[in-house]
Amino acid sequence: MSKIHLMSHLVAGYPSDELAFTAASALVAGGADILEIQLPFSDPCADGPAIQQACTQVLSRSYKTADGLAFIQRLHQAFPSITIYLMSYASLVYTPGVEVFCKKAAQAGVKGMIIPDLPFDCDEGLTKACIANGMENIPVVAPSMTKERLHSLAYAGFSHIYAALRTGITGSDTVIDDSTLTFLSQVSEGGSKIYGGFGIKDGTQAKALASSVEAIVAGSVFVRLITEYQNDQKKLYDAVLQKTKELTNQA
């Protein structure tokens, strides 16, 4: 099997901007294709314990949306060839105004927005604002979506769709089985390319999933490594680098 495409998830500013940048550098060196950068949020609906804890720690420093965008801009300047997506929740996008937020995100180097609690068919103008600013809106779908809405989303014309491989929150164990692959086939039947994640943490899962998606998505596994090695920058870099190579089939 050739290299597996990877979208890697990081929380901006966790545990510090410098260490988050170290982790991002290791991800890029290890072969990550996309950096999905989450703006810390106080009440996430999709994030598991590892990411929730990371967000809480960053917010305790009075970290602002502007700080997260500045971090993204730094990544974009350091790695201009790497695609950066911004992941957040509706409140942070809607409060300043969707158009205003999208303009600032695009100026920072963001190429796509992933906002789980803004549904594709009720997105407060997110898709339109993304297009106006040279970005794309990447809607999120889960197996709990009705067949009717899933069909509507599949044929709605999005370039990419983020498929959560199971219901619930991130970070728990995910089994890649026939039902998972059937779900992914349904999501992609309208021609959208699929990013598949939620609970991907090892090479075996990545290989089972790779042929059915444009890229696998992994997040909590990296946040846990950052937490474990946050007191040793070199070990943090090496651990993230090795895990990235494992997930992209280059270990």
Which ranges constitute the DSSP H helices of the chain?
17-30, 49-59, 65-78, 90-94, 98-108, 126-132, 147-154, 178-188, 203-210, 220-228, 233-247
Mapped onto helix, strand or coil, the DSSP state of residue 136 is strand
Phi, psi angle pair for 42, to nearest 5°: -80, -20
Q: Which of 36, 123, 214, 246 is catalytic?
A: 36
d(CA 183, CA 174): 14
Q: Enter the DSSP assignment of 3.
A: P
Strand partners, 136: 112
Residue 67 appears among annotated catalytic residues? no
225 token code pair: 């490594």
Phi, psi angle pair for 37, to nearest 5°: -105, 120
Q: How far is CA 71 from the centre of its chain?
A: 16
d(CA 146, CA 128): 25
Q: Which of 47, 123, 214, 246 is catalytic?
A: 47
Residue 47 appears among annotated catalytic residues? yes
Q: Contact at 8 Å (CB) between 92 and 44?
A: no
> Whose structure tokens read 């040279």?
134
Positions annotated as catalytic residues are 36, 47
